[in-house]
Amino acid sequence: MPTKKLLSPLALPIYVFAAAILAGAALLRSPASHAGPTVPFLDALFTATSATCVTGLVVVDTGSAFTPFGQGVILLLIQLGGLGIMTYASLFFYLWRRRVSLTDHIAVGQSLLQDPSFHLGHFLLRVVASVAVIEALGALLLYLMDPVGFSPFSAVFHSISAFCNAGFGLLPDNLMRYRGHVGVNLVIMALIVLGGLGFTVIVELYRLSRQRLRPRARLVPWRGLSWYSRTVLSTSAFLIVAGAALLFLGEYALSTWTDWADAALAAMFQSVTCRTAGFNTVDIGRMGEASLGIMILLMFIGGSPGSCAGGIKTTTFRVLAAFGRAQMRGGRQAVIGRFAVDDATLNRAVTLTIFAMGIVLVSLLVLCFTEGATQAHHLAPGRFLDILFEVVSAFGTVGLSTGLTPNLTPAGKIVVIGLMFVGRLGPIVFLSVLQGFQERPRYQWPEQGMLIG
């Protein structure tokens, strides 16, 4: 029985991602990957984890420390990590919509083979083809905008990294040199947003656009977006706009950004990228503490389910917001749009958030000890905020840093590696696997009220 539970479908992505990380670390450790001094194994493991988990935190500069072969390995890990989690999550979403349990691989196999509307090969082909088209178009646009700054390989690298929400770059200053370049900013932001929406939403948008572009579109009944897609799109748009407005006010008020047009573009880019992408057009370490706090919140929320993004996801945030609104108004249901969220979804959202906050707090405490945040506050001002930013960035698979990552201790690197791994697959996956080893109790405890608040 324990062996069967260890090999359950829910645990499969854990083993696959772990194997990919170890294989990537071995390749990055080889001399063929090093452009300069030998990269230690822990740094190679850190880089492989960051690439496979599409995070973007780096302890060595990708463009100068690795050869084209090593950069190709990193690019392959990014593509496998982003495409793999999107495929698995999309397949999970398909089965969930048909009420198929993923805890029984026999039932899953039968459902896939017996459903005439589903063909696994066609499904996987649609995912891969959609991703390839989007990334190729992004690479072409980047190359056309700046053939010198974005060579063909560099354009492909940055396009894949942006769509997979990885944040890896080959330029030493990330994208800071393109801070005022509207075209490059728009392309990177579009790739990040598409990669953070999820394959299900992308397919719905594609089908809707095709329907609307037909010559007789007016004669065809308009099939709108699903409730789920509407929720994802509206929540994502709200977080991007609200985050950009707050970042603009925070930095413009501090006179850090003096040109309002340049500040607006930078604020919008940072609002998009801190939703788990990891690129930056400004120096994160020089931003105000209020702005860093806003970015921490956005990084913790992350992108949407079934996407390349991490975090607790936009739908979780929306469900909790609807629940809080209902409680303040004395309502009995958490309503989003035309429907109310069922109790099972609400319980999962609360459980996921509590579990995620617990992971962040424990990791924060450990890094405070390993990274020298135990001394008096006046001797290391801002150290705690730097560590908190690093922890949330790793957990949300964002890749932004105030400058702490290259200076992490070996113990700190191990903690961040674990954070990236858990954050990429999602805390709910590990929680579900752990719950699979526990038997449901066949009794109930007597209940009694308790004073709260």
218: in domain: no
Q: What is the pLDDT of residue 226?
A: 85
- pLDDT < 50 stretches in the chain: 1, 99-116, 219-222
Domain hosting residue 241, numbered range: 2-213+224-435
444: in domain: no
450: in domain: no
Q: What is the pLDDT of residue 445?
A: 83
Q: What is the pLDDT of residue 278?
A: 84
Picking from 143, 7, 38, 139, the residue whose alpha carbon sits closest to that of residue 79 is 139
Q: What is the pLDDT of residue 71?
A: 93
CB 21 within 8 A of CB 45: yes
31: in domain: yes
Looking at the structure of the chain, the number of domains it has is 1
203: in domain: yes
441: in domain: no
pTM: 0.85
Q: What is the pLDDT of residue 88?
A: 59
453: in domain: no
Question: What CA–CA distance (Å, rounded) separates 190 from 204?
Answer: 17
